[in-house]
């Protein structure tokens, strides 16, 4: 198979490809390798000075804490331990020696721990809200094609890349293109699509070794590693690992300077992938990549759910026959429902007994073999007739008949497979006894029974009906699983809606949500002529807390301040994070003197409440009240000016803006 993906994936792990990619990384980040005990740096990339301002030769052999700082190394060491191979996690740390925060990805390789450092990118944008918005649109899609179309449009919009495509990996290992999205026909012609047949030299870019693969710039030269054993370091799980020269040239032929591949998994099996590429070199920050991966997997689950739902519509033809057979659609594939379906069909098939073997459990009614024998029959059927109908009216002459007990007196077996998600789930078995018994007289006149003879042969109608029944029961299982996935999808959609409105650090309303609430409350005040006040405050010397105690301590202060302030507000008040360490309080039906009194209490509470490991934390508050004709921006501006007056007055105090500027 010259275009087989499996051939390409196998080639991606051959010694030649590993030799081409070993000892080199992409230049948009740097790499440090430490020993399992976090005592010394054993390997580095040669571009270390670009990110850390330290030469590789000066770093080798030094303590990781001396290179990256004790706080991030302590965090990583406590999280990863000795860095077991295959274990990976991420952490964002502000290193003391770098002006910009770096995102650190760590994973274990043999007896070492690989640390990959990349720029964090913009941490103050509304990326989470944008991703949540796309997630809501995808959740509302009503067909699989629409889900893929929205997903690809979202990836192009969020990444800025010109082309995005969705592929499925079939059973033969081939890529089947399901959908494609490009900026325009001109872009499509200039930046060609990935070939569905993958005439690709190694398939390294499309391998499943990592859930996500990014090439920031195909024209950039790889950065080598330096240190003992650099050429032998296994970078197959590294985010920054380079790609072979032939692969890079292949991307250049497509005029693709940036590539992003997100693998999609159905359980443990790789179902397909999303491939994006663009004509311009573009660095996608780790936070963006993580959100894109979450969005892609959420969309894939929605796509799978809609596909299963479409397949279930085919059951309408079977429901007519189900009415004749007395089969009712169960709410879930319970043992009772499956047993009731079998009982309804027992008379139709003229069977002496019916059995169901499902997920290792054996159920039945009428004359049938014991449960252990039924399980053995199901195992034999899985081997000799997987996913296919099996029948015989002369069991004694078959290999399966040997599993039956001699006293069972069964001569006929019709077995229909129950499948779920293309995997054998169990068997529906119908048994028949021999048509008659013959007896012979012995010399002592005692009657003895001969071995059972053939049963009535299974007709074509019997076989077709058994197949239909098996499909119906299998569809019931699929529907139940689809509903289960639907519940999970609804839970994840609810989580996305929560993320779209909630600040992830402080746990209160985010900027977008508090702006919506402010507009709504001002509209109520304008219509009813009721008072409405605004309090804007921020935490004094918050940068000093971050610099002295780390960002984790700063985040903890933000959460505790939000919780304590929220506890002192009314149920009708609204608290939200305005930005950075600034918070906004909307107080409906609250006059300016009342708001000033509330601000004074909040300010005093902060001074009297110590924070663990940080100490007392003060806040500066600006207060203003709505006046007829005020817009939200004017009201916030007055509160902001009052807050800055409080800071100029020495902080930890309240200032009031009584009139518009």
On whether residue 16 sits in a domain, the answer given is no
Tens digits of residue pLDDT in 562-576: 998 999 999 999 999
Which tokens sit at 348? Answer: 């139709």
DSSP string, 394-420: -GGGSSGGGGS-GGG---EEEEEEEEE
DSSP code at position 654? E
What percent of the chain has a predicted confidence (pLDDT) above 90? 29
**pLDDT-derived band at 339, boundaries 50, 70, 90:** low
Per-residue pLDDT averaged across 513-517, rounded?
A: 93
Query: What's the pLDDT at 10?
Result: 39
Average pLDDT, the chain: 80
Range with lowest mean pLDDT among 114-118, 203-207, 356-360? 203-207
Query: What's the pLDDT at 424?
Result: 61
Residue 359 has pLDDT above 70, yes or no: yes
On whether residue 480 sits in a domain, the answer given is yes
**pLDDT-derived band at 201, boundaries 50, 70, 90:** very low
Query: What's the pLDDT at 79?
Result: 76
Residue 601 has pLDDT above 60, yes or no: yes
Asked whether residue 447 falls in the same domain as residue 563, the answer is no
Query: What's the pLDDT at 132?
Result: 92
Per-residue pLDDT averaged across 185-189, rounded?
A: 42
Residue 420 has pLDDT above 80, yes or no: no
Query: What's the pLDDT at 90?
Result: 54
On whether residue 321 sits in a domain, the answer given is no
On whether residue 550 sits in a domain, the answer given is yes
On whether residue 449 sits in a domain, the answer given is yes
Asked whether residue 341 falls in the same domain as residue 405, the answer is yes
Query: What's the pLDDT at 47?
Result: 92
Per-residue pLDDT averaged across 100-112, rounded?
A: 84
Per-residue pLDDT averaged across 641-647, rounded?
A: 93
Residue 327 has pLDDT above 50, yes or no: no
On whether residue 162 sits in a domain, the answer given is no
Per-residue pLDDT averaged across 280-297, rounded?
A: 92
Helix axis angle for 335-346 and 460-501, nearest 10°, is 160
Asked whether residue 396 falls in the same domain as residue 453, the answer is yes
Helix, strand, coil percentages (3-state) for the chain, rounded to 5, are 45, 25, 35
Query: What's the pLDDT at 441?
Result: 38
Tens digits of residue pLDDT in 466-514: 887 788 777 776 777 777 788 888 888 888 888 888 988 889 999 999 9
Please tell me which residue, 586 or 21, carries the higher pLDDT value.
586
Residue 594 has pLDDT above 50, yes or no: yes
Query: What's the pLDDT at 21?
Result: 53
On whether residue 319 sits in a domain, the answer given is no
Asked whether residue 524 falls in the same domain as residue 424, the answer is no
Query: What's the pLDDT at 547?
Result: 87
H or E segment and range at residue 147: helix 144-159
Asked whether residue 568 falls in the same domain as residue 425, the answer is no
Residue 593 has pLDDT above 90, yes or no: yes
What is d(CA 130, CA 136) in angstroms, rounded to the nearest whole number? 10
What is d(CA 412, CA 432) in angstroms, rounded to the nearest whole number? 5
Asked whether residue 483 falls in the same domain as residue 543, the answer is no
**pLDDT-derived band at 269, boundaries 50, 70, 90:** confident
Range with lowest mean pLDDT among 426-430, 455-459, 501-505? 455-459
Distances (CA, A) of 335 to 355, 476, 477, 632: 11, 12, 11, 60
Tens digits of residue pLDDT in 117-161: 998 887 777 888 999 999 999 999 988 889 999 999 999 999 999
Residue 289 has pLDDT above 60, yes or no: yes
Asked whether residue 439 falls in the same domain as residue 544, the answer is no
Tens digits of residue pLDDT in 220-268: 889 999 998 888 888 888 889 888 887 788 888 878 889 999 999 887 7
Per-residue pLDDT averaged across 65-91, rounded?
A: 72
Query: What's the pLDDT at 204?
Result: 63
Asked whether residue 483 falls in the same domain as residue 516, the answer is no
Range with lowest mean pLDDT among 6-15, 131-140, 254-263, 518-527? 6-15
**pLDDT-derived band at 582, boundaries 50, 70, 90:** very high
What percent of the chain has a predicted confidence (pLDDT) above 70? 79
Residue 328 has pLDDT above 50, yes or no: no
Give the residue from 431, 386, 388, 390 showing the smallest Cα distance to 413: 431
Query: What's the pLDDT at 635?
Result: 93
Buried b (16+ CB within 10 A) or exposed e, 142-153: eebebbbbbbbe
CB atoms within 10 A of CB 483: 15
Asked whether residue 483 falls in the same domain as residue 544, the answer is no
Tens digits of residue pLDDT in 534-555: 999 999 888 888 888 888 888 9
Cα-based torsion angle of the residue sequence 393, 396, 402, 404 in order, rounded to the nearest 10 degrees: 60
Query: What's the pLDDT at 643?
Result: 94
Query: What's the pLDDT at 447?
Result: 32
618, 516 in Cβ contact below 8 A? no
456, 349 in Cβ contact below 8 A? no
Q: Tell me the pairing of strands 654-657 and 619-625.
A: parallel
What is d(CA 234, CA 238) in angstroms, rounded to the nearest whole number? 8
Instruction: For residue 390, give the 3-state DSSP assignment.
Output: strand
Query: What's the pLDDT at 6?
Result: 38
Task: State the CATH number of the domain containing residue 403.
Answer: 3.30.450.40
Q: Which of 487, 520, 544 is the last residue of a domain?
A: 487
Give the residue from 12, 8, 46, 7 showing the smallest Cα distance to 244: 12
On whether residue 597 sits in a domain, the answer given is yes
Per-residue pLDDT averaged across 93-108, rounded?
A: 76
277, 155 in Cβ contact below 8 A? no
Range with lowest mean pLDDT among 154-163, 168-177, 308-317? 308-317
Residue 64 has pLDDT above 50, yes or no: yes
Query: Domain span at residue 411?
Result: 326-487
Asked whether residue 516 falls in the same domain as residue 586, the answer is yes
Asked whether residue 396 falls in the same domain as residue 468, the answer is yes
Cα-based torsion angle of the residue sequence 559, 563, 565, 570 in order, rounded to the nearest 10 degrees: 140
Q: What is the number of domains present in the chain?
A: 2
Asked whether residue 376 falls in the same domain as residue 452, the answer is yes
């Amino acid at each position: 198979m010259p275009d087989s993906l499996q051939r390409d994936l196998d080639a991606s792990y051959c010694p030649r490809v590993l030799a081409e990619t070993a000892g080199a990384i992409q230049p948009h980040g740097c790499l440090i390798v430490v020993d399992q005990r976090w005592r010394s740096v054993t390997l580095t990339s040669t571009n270390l000075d670009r990110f850390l301002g330290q030469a590789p030769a000066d770093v080798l052999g030094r303590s990781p804490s001396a290179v990256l700082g004790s706080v991030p190394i302590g965090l990583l060491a406590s999280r990863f331990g000795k860095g077991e191979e295959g274990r990976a996690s991420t952490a964002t740390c502000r290193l003391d020696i770098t002006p910009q925060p770096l995102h650190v990805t760590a994973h274990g390789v043999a007896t070492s721990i690989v640390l990959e450092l990349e720029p964090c990118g913009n941490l103050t944008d509304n990326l989470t809200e944008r991703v949540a918005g796309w997630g809501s649109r995808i959740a509302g899609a009503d067909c699989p094609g629409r889900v893929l179309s929205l997903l690809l449009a979202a990836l192009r919009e969020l990444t800025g890349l010109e082309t995005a495509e969705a592929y499925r990996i079939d059973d033969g290992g081939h890529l089947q293109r399901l959908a494609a999205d490009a900026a325009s026909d001109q872009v499509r012609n200039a930046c060609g699509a990935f070939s569905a047949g993958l005439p690709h030299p190694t398939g390294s870019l499309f391998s499943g070794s990592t859930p996500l693969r990014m090439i920031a710039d195909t024209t950039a030269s790889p950065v080598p590693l330096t240190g003992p054993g650099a050429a032998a370091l296994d970078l197959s799980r590294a985010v920054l690992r380079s790609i072979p020269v032939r692969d890079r040239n292949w991307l250049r032929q497509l005029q693709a300077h940036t590539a992003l591949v997100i693998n999609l998994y159905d359980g443990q099996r790789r179902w397909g992938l999303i491939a994006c590429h663009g004509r311009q070199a573009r660095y996608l920050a780790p936070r963006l990549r993580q959100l894109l991966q979450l969005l892609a997997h959420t969309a894939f689950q929605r796509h799978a759910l809609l596909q299963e739902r479409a397949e279930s519509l085919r059951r309408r033809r079977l429901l007519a026959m189900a009415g004749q057979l007395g089969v009712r659609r169960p709410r879930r594939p319970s043992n009772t429902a499956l047993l009731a379906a079998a009982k309804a069909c027992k008379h139709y098939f003229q069977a002496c007994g019916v059995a169901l073997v499902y997920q290792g459990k054996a159920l039945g009614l009428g004359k049938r073999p014991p449960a252990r024998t039924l399980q053995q029959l199901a195992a034999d059927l899985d081997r000799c007739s997987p996913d296919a109908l099996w029948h015989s009216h002369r069991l004694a002459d078959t290999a399966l008949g040997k599993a039956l007990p001699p006293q069972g007196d069964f001569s006929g077996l019709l077995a229909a497979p129950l499948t779920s998600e293309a995997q054998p789930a169990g068997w529906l078995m119908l048994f028949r006894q021999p048509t008659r018994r013959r007896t012979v007289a012995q010399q002592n006149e005692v009657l003895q029974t001969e071995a059972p003879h053939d049963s009535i042969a299974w007709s074509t109608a019997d076989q077709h009906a058994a197949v239909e029944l098996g499909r119906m029961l299998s569809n019931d299982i699929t529907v139940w699983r689809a509903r289960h996935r639907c519940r999970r999808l609804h839970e994840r959609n609810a989580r996305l809606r929560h993320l779209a409105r909630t600040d992830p650090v402080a746990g209160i309303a985010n900027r977008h949500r508090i702006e919506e609430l402010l507009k709504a409350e001002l509209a109520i005040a304008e219509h009813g002529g009721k008072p409405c006040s605004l309090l804007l405050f921020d935490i004094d010397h918050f940068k000093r807390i971050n610099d002295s105690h780390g960002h984790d301590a700063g985040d903890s202060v933000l959460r505790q301040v939000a919780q304590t302030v929220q506890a002192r507000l009314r149920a009708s008040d609204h608290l939200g994070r305005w930005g950075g360490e600034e918070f906004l309080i909307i107080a409906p039906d609250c006059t300016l003197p009342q708001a000033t009194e509330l601000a004074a209490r909040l300010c005093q509470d902060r001074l009297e409440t110590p924070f663990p490991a940080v100490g007392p934390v003060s806040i500066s508050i600006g207060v203003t009240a709505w006046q007829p004709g005020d817009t939200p921006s004017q009201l916030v501006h007055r509160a902001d000016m009052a807050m800055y007056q409080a800071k100029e007055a020495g902080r930890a105090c309240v200032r009031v803006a009584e009139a518009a500027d």
